[in-house]
Each structure stands twice: as C-alpha cells, then as structure tokens.
Amino acid sequence: MTSQTTVEQADKAPEPASAPTPAKGLRGHPWLTLFSVAIGVMMVALDGTIVAIANPAIQKDLGATFAEVQWITNGYFLALAVALITAGKLGDRFGHRQTFLIGVVGFAAASGAIGLSDSIALVVTFRVLQGLFGALLMPAALGLLRASFPAEKLNMAIGIWGMVIGASTAGGPILGGLLVQHVSWQSVFFINVPVGVLALVLGLVILKDHRAENAPRSFDILGIVLLSAAMFCLVWALIKAPEWGWGAGLTWTFIGVAVLSFVLFAAWESKVKEPLIPLALFRSVALSAGVVLMVLMAIAFMGGLFFVTFYLQNVHGMSPVDSGLHLLPLTCMMIVGSPLAGAMITKVGPRIPLAGGMALTAAAMFGMSTLEAGTGSGPMSLWFALLGLGLAPVMVGATEVIVGNAPMELSGVAGGLQQAAMQIGGSLGTAVLGAVMASKVDSDLAGNWAEAKLPPLSEADLDKAAEAVQVGVAPVPPKAPPSVAEQITSVAHDTFMSGMGLACLVATGVAVVAVFVAFLTKRGANAEAGAGVGHI
C-alpha cells in the first residue's frame, strides 16, 4: 500500500473492524487501560525533571565535573528525542502492548542500575538506556489509548493523559527535593523500580494488544538511520550551541548535517514501499499544524520555565522544595484544566480551545516578563496559574489533532511525532531563549557594573561574572565587604531579570504565532465518525 493510499483512507470514516468495541472484564477496558498506561507515563515524565534536583548531590558524591553532570540530563533527552518516532513504528509493527511493557521493564531496570552505579560514566550510560526505553513507552501509551477508546471519549482520555504528564513534570522538583534532602540521590532512581513493577503487573492483566489490519510488515532501515542521524545532529547542536557559540562553525556543521539528513530522509521516504513516516501524512494540514503547534508550545513553556527555576532558587534564595511548591499553581491548573479541556474539545472541536490556550500562554509569559527580583509570591502564583491554564488545552488538543488525524495503523508513529515535537521544541526553547538571555546579560552587565561604581573587572573576569549572572548567581568574591557584596548582588539580580524579561517576551511572541497556527487545526478524521462508535 502506498503512503498516499494510506492517508486517503484516513480521511474516510474508519472501518467498523478497526473501531474500539466495548470491553468485557478487565482486559482491554478503556478506563483501566488509561490507568495502566498513566502509571508508566508518570514514571517517564517525572524522571524528566526530578533528576535535575539530584544532579548537585550526584556531582559531589561521584566527584563529577560540571560537563559530566550535564550529560546526565543531555544523554537522557538526546536518546529520547532520537528514538521516539522509530519506537512508535515498532509499536505499530509488533503491537503497542508489547512495546509498552518492554519499555516499562527496561526503564525500571535502568533506573535501578543507576541507583547502584558508583561512577558518573555508568550513571550517564544507564540514563541513555532510560531514554531509549522511555521512547518505547511513550508513543505506545498513545497508541493504546487511540485503539481502546471510541472517538467521542478519546479527548477526555488524552486530557487525563496530559494531566498526568503535566503534574508529573511539574511535581518532579518537589518529590526530587524531598528524596534528596531526606533520603539520598539514589532514591530518586530507586523509586522507579516499584512504580515499574506496578505498571508491569497492571499491563499484563489489563492491556489488550490492538493491531490494525494495515499495520506495516517491514522495516525501513535506511529511513531509520537517516531520521536518527538528523534528529541526533539537530538536538546535539541545540544542546551544545550555548557552549560552542551560535556563530561557531561546529554548531552550524551539525545543523547542516541535520538539514541534509532530513532532505535525504524525505527523498528516500517518497520511494520506499513501506516508509517509516509516509510523507503523505503531512498533506493533512491539521496534522502538520498540530506538530508545529506542539513545537511552539514547548519552546514557550520549557524555554520560559528553564529560567523560572533559577529565578526562584538563585534570585529569591528558595530551596528546591520551596521552589517546587511555588510552581504548584501551574501544576494544579494543568491537573484541573486537562480533563476540562478534553471535554471542551469534544464539544466544540480543537480550534477555539487551542487558540485560547496559546493566548493565555502568551499572556502568562508576558506577565512573567514583568517579574522583578523582589516580586512577591502573589503575582508569581497568578502568572504560573495562568500558564498552567493555557497549557492544558494545548497539550490535550495538539495531541488529539496529531494522533486523531493519522490512520490507525500509524498511531504509534503519530504518538512518536507528538513526543518528538515536544522534545525538539523544549531543546529549541532552552537553546534559543538561553542565547537571548546570554546576549542580554553580556550587553548589560558591564554598564550596570560601572554604573554601580563597583571595582572594574578584567575582560576574563567579566566573562566569568556573566556566566554566573546568566543563572541568577551573584559573583561575589569570598572576602568582599558586606556593602560591596550587596551592591554586586543587586547588579547581578537586576541584570538577570532584564535577561529573563527579554527571554519571556520572545516566548510571548512564539505563543502569539502559535495562536494563528491553532486555527489551522481540526478534529481528527476518525473522531468525526465518533457518533457511530459504541459507547463505553
């Protein structure tokens, strides 16, 4: 079957045989399926942020360098981003139940191995394995939901799925802080073992294998290699750009290789009989808009939130636990808003909720650009809550648009696309907004320093001071008099806030662009036939 035929079939009402039927008993029950996959998804989403809190303790205990500690995070996200789409294809080929269970077992085992590791090299190695197994798990979860729920219930299911991801991501710093502070850094990883066992037992008992009649029967090996190379080079360039410099030849070499690999991938996919990603899939304007929307949302959200943690901990001097608690308004609004967004999207379609969600996100990011070093908890909580309320319909709606506009036999690939878009968007947001922050600090710090009549710095010392200020740290010398230390702190924090304000304004602009992209979306083709599907 050609890719064109595949997508043409997706635009028609789904075949009765492929529609989910009411389940009897535990196995295959839609809501129990949702509960089962949510446990596994929670484990992966939590790990994306919980580990950041443990990094300082790992660095101290294992005697690691700063660059080595960075790899604890970078290795995980790099493996996740590179493998997601291929992992989704594996689920389409071998069944999402099997892929999900393998992902759960592998992720939990890798987590336990990290807790037992006594060197930074082993920690990084098993973090990469975590990313690979997480990539198996996440698209499979969406594939299982798509196959288990009738169309008119799918938005609500994705809403709860998005709620779990949002709550786990935002709750990571709180749980991580408590575990590191009161137990050990190893406990951050060991906690995944019992969670993984629970997810495995539930999966074995409840999950039902669903395979579309037109599921792929072969592997596009060259396509996998080209796409993996493209994703690796792109994400790697984004990760290393702050260190190498955006104008560096090495940065643009990797970006160039990524672009060339994407072009070769597209050329190959148009010729192969069973492509990894049928390019005709992107003839769906709604699906393409959903992918772009997910990238833009992640740029604004993850890029902006990256600086908020530095703002809370280094400018306000909060502990990791306290900073996590200050983000509870965002978490709570995502928990409350995601199921409500799912219900709203079911009633009115995705366009208005998506556009409205991105408008709220733009307003929240603009509000965050007005924060100052002395801003109290009230205004912070208002903008964080507004951000969570805006993100909820976007997380749910864009996911439904991507997965719902893909044919059933490509639901795993669609789930991989959704997750890959988030990873690329997050990397882009952190890299681009980080560059904006660095540029603003570099341009303002020397003038602010001189204006405060502080002792002049050499060029080398000014560069070191700028690096500290970019993360909200005041470069106070060890023996500085209290009055001088106070002046340096004031200059550092004011300069950081000007950089964060500009970065949040850029994120605001990205969110505004996303408002217009949202109007290109529409309800998934299979969801349109929801009225004809049996109710649960």
Q: CA 336 to CA 328: how far, in whole Å?
A: 12
Whole-number CA gyration radius for the chain = 23
Looking at the whole model, is its pTM more than 0.85? no
Q: Using an 8 Å Cβ cutoff, are 299 and 432 in contact? A: yes
Q: Using an 8 Å Cβ cutoff, are 338 and 159 in contact? A: yes
Q: pLDDT means per 10 residues in the chain (536 residues)? A: 40 42 66 87 79 76 72 80 82 83 94 90 90 87 80 74 74 77 86 91 86 64 86 83 80 92 88 78 83 88 76 82 80 82 83 92 93 87 90 83 75 77 80 83 87 83 84 82 87 90 92 92 58 33
Q: CA 402 to CA 10: how far, in whole Å?
A: 12
What per-residue confidence (pLDDT) applies to 94? 79
Q: Using an 8 Å Cβ cutoff, are 491 and 475 in contact? A: no
Q: Nearest-CA neighbor of 426 among 338, 296, 289?
A: 296
The dihedral built from the CA positions of residue 345, 350, 356 and 361, taken in this order, carries a sign that is positive
What is the SS3 assignment for 27? Answer: coil
What are the tens digits of pLDDT across the range 309-360?
A: 788 888 888 876 787 788 888 878 888 887 888 888 888 888 899 999 999 9
Q: Nearest-CA neighbor of 269 among 310, 307, 236, 224?
A: 224
Contacts of 375 (CB under 8 A, 6+ apart): none
Contacts of 304 (CB under 8 A, 6+ apart): 365, 368, 387, 429, 433, 503, 504, 507
Q: Nearest-CA neighbor of 313 among 55, 45, 48, 42?
A: 55
What per-residue confidence (pLDDT) applies to 73? 75
Q: Nearest-CA neighbor of 312 among 162, 177, 181?
A: 177
What are the tens digits of pLDDT across the range 207-252?
A: 887 665 665 666 778 888 888 888 888 888 877 777 787 788 898 9
3-class SS letters over 99-127: HHHHHHHHHHHHHHHHHCCCCHHHHHHHH
What is the SS3 assignment for 28? Answer: coil
